[in-house]
Amino acid sequence: MTIHIEKSWDIVDSTQVAELYEQAFGSKFYRAIPDKAKRIRVLSESFVPKYSFVAYSDKRIVGLSGFNISAGSLTGGIEATGLINSLGLFSGLWACLVFSLFERKPEEGELVMDGIAVNSDFRGQGIGSLLLDRIITYAKDNGYDSVRLDVIDSNPRAKKLYESKGFVAVKADSFPYLKWLVGFSGATTMKLELKNMADKELAN
């Protein structure tokens, strides 16, 4: 099996990408939009492909990693007007409230990674690591100082992957009273300082 990574993807693949995103993160967004079909539709209409990398197996998208920079983000199309138009006034405003809990703004010189999703049939084959490497390379090539991400407390495997790439925990948040709403009770913010990474590469 050959896997290749590309930046962006054709908008005709929006539903396929939304289904992949739903598979990985649907439990986080369940309270925002309880109906799975509606979640997939809203996601497919909201993605901005150029702020992501995808992994292909032949012509099938089997992995996705989004990012958030000052210019925009993969999920940047999720806005109040669109949610209200799609879901109605009350449900749209509720979805806005829940989605706002996941919003992370990048600081100057920073790229924020918006999670990695890998098709369940292709996990354990290093696809997540390949996508993460491309995000890091993109950040370095485009002059960013650091890459930041959040990893939830129920995903120790992802945390180990990030640590293996040089990410360091900089903050831990616990919010057990919100677990019913967001699907997890805590998260760790991790950061990769690209200058430190470059210095280590030069030293070697």
Backbone angles phi, psi at 56, to 5 degrees: -110, 140
**Domains of the chain, earliest start first:** 3-203 (3.40.630.30)
Report pTM. Answer: 0.87
| The predicted structure's pLDDT at residue 68 | 95
Quote the pLDDT of residue 10: 94
**Distance between CA 25 and CA 40 in Å, rounded?**
11
Q: Are 93 and 115 in contact (CB under 8 A)?
A: no
pLDDT given at position 117: 93
Q: Which residues of 88-100 are buried (b: 16+ CB within 10 A; e: fewer)?
A: eeebbebbbebbe
Task: Say what the pLDDT of residue 26 is.
Answer: 87
Q: Tens of pLDDT along the chain (204 residues)?
A: 789 999 999 999 999 999 999 998 888 888 889 999 999 999 999 999 999 999 999 889 999 999 999 999 998 888 888 888 889 999 999 988 888 888 888 999 999 998 899 999 998 899 999 999 999 999 999 999 999 999 888 788 888 999 999 999 999 888 776 776 767 778 899 999 998 665 555 555
